[in-house]
Amino acid sequence: MTNEIMDRHNDVMRDWFDNAWMNNFPTFFNDANTDTTLKTDIKESDKDYEVHVDMPAFDKKNIDINYQNNTLTISGHRDSFNDHEDKNGDMIMSERSSGRFARQYHLPAVDENNIKADYSDGVLKITLPKVEDKKDLGHHIEIN
């Protein structure tokens, strides 16, 4: 099975910087761990990969999917608000954000012409069929 599926963020300083940048350098009292990553599940079978990505509040026309060089790239942008106060000062908490989001996944041996995608109820589902292996039946060699 595939071991190099996700572009993971394993570096602690990079995670902190990414969170600080995405959340406009949060203060000590703000939730610095608000995650803006596209949460993904990937299932692999003998015949395909099935990818489910949580993309709530995205308009389908603002989602782009590309498969090139054994890499699936999913990107999109969402227009929401990130106000911490409304006009009457009634906002208690605001965690929704807007902006551009992207993820990449290494998924080799995919039949590029038969990839299918569906977006419903805030979840993007992509099915990537694998290229069928041509069985090596061998070749008989005569001895002279």
Q: Give the pLDDT of residue 134.
A: 55
Question: What is the reported pLDDT for 31?
Answer: 42
Residue 137 lies in a domain: no
DSSP conformation letters of 26-95 = --TTS-TT---S--EEEEE-SSEEEEEEE-TT--GGGEEEEEETTEEEEEEEE-----SS-TTS------
Residue-level length of the chain: 144
Whether residue 138 lies inside any domain: the answer is no
Domain that holds residue 109: 12-81+96-129
Q: What is the pLDDT of residue 92?
A: 72
Rounded CA-CA distance 71/46 in Å is: 18
pLDDT of residue 42: 97
Global pTM value = 0.63
pLDDT tens series, the chain, 144 aa: 444 454 444 444 555 555 555 444 444 444 444 455 789 999 999 999 999 999 988 999 999 999 999 999 999 998 755 555 667 767 777 666 678 889 999 999 999 999 999 999 999 999 999 998 655 556 666 786
Q: Over the stretch 112-122, which tens digit does the pLDDT of each residue have?
A: 999 999 999 99
Say if 142 falls within a structural domain.
Answer: no
Count of domains for the chain: 1
Residue 37 lies in a domain: yes
Query: Which pLDDT does position 98 carry in this prediction?
Result: 76
118 within a domain of the structure (yes/no) = yes
Residue 120 domain-assigned (yes or no) = yes
Check which CATH number belongs to the domain holding 37 and give it: 2.60.40.790
